[in-house]
Structure 1
Amino acid sequence: KFRYGYKKHVLTDGEGLVHTLTTTSANVSDTREFPTLIEKGALQKGVMVLADKGYTSKTNREHLSGHGLKDGIMRKATKGKPLS
């Protein structure tokens, strides 16, 4: 689906300092840009990576694990079932 515009994907530290910034067209899925942010961010092993549920995917969770990073990506609810 085509969307006019752009999206910014930003990797910051806990104090809000920007470490990585990428821009994509609006129709690019957040999940596809996640590995690029992690690679460019050069994070230390053991760091918790927090992300909204737009970045959730099995591949992204495995990417974090493969780089020794902690998974803090929000999870999406299954339709009709609460997250609790």
Structure 2
Amino acid sequence: MSDATAEHGLDIREQIVRIDRALAESRKFQAEQSKLIAEAAKYDRERKLAPFVLAISLSAGVSAALVSLLGRLIH
């Protein structure tokens, strides 16, 4: 009877080890998923801001060109 109990104990330990490994792998995937979600949110913000950055850059360039042109015309 002790052999059956020992085998049963080993079987339970093996199952616990498998469960622990599965939980660790699941946590790893959750962490990776969270990282990817954060990265996607960052790219989404950048994508939404891109037209504004472009417009501001264009405005600054045009303003600089006008100031330069006016400076040449005045002198």
Q: Quick check: which one's strand share is greater?
A: 1
Higher relative contact order (CA 8 A, sep 6+): 1
Q: TM class by shorter-chain length?
A: under 0.3
> Structure 2-normalised TM-score?
0.18
Q: Quick check: which one's helix share is greater?
A: 2
